[in-house]
């Protein structure tokens, strides 16, 4: 029901093709957790990718913690 992922970093200054693949893989893996209700992405540096990360979830989250996360306007609009 609950998962914490800390210190996930994506280099937005010099994005690599592997970064997009990694985000897609992470989203797919999160989507394989049907009872996930709480997600903590503390200290995540994934600006502009929140929609992609959460797109495969099977059910809405009850709690999403984004403490110390880098967010861009696209992330805020998605939320």
Residues across the chain: 79
66: Cα separation from own chain's centroid: 9
pLDDT tens readout for residues 20-42: 888 899 999 999 999 999 999 98
Which residue do the tokens 């861009």 mark? 72
Extract the residue ranges of the chain whose pLDDT is less than 70.
Answer: 11-15
This prediction has a pTM of 0.83
pLDDT at 4: 94
């Amino acid at each position: 029901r609950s998962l914490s992922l800390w210190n996930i970093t994506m280099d937005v200054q010099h994005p690599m093709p592997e970064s997009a693949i990694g985000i897609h893989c992470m989203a797919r893996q999160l989507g394989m957790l049907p009872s996930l209700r709480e997600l903590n992405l503390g200290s995540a540096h994934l600006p502009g990718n929140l929609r992609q990360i959460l797109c495969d979830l099977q059910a809405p989250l009850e709690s999403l913690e984004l403490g110390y996360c880098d967010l861009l306007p696209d992330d805020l609009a998605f939320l």
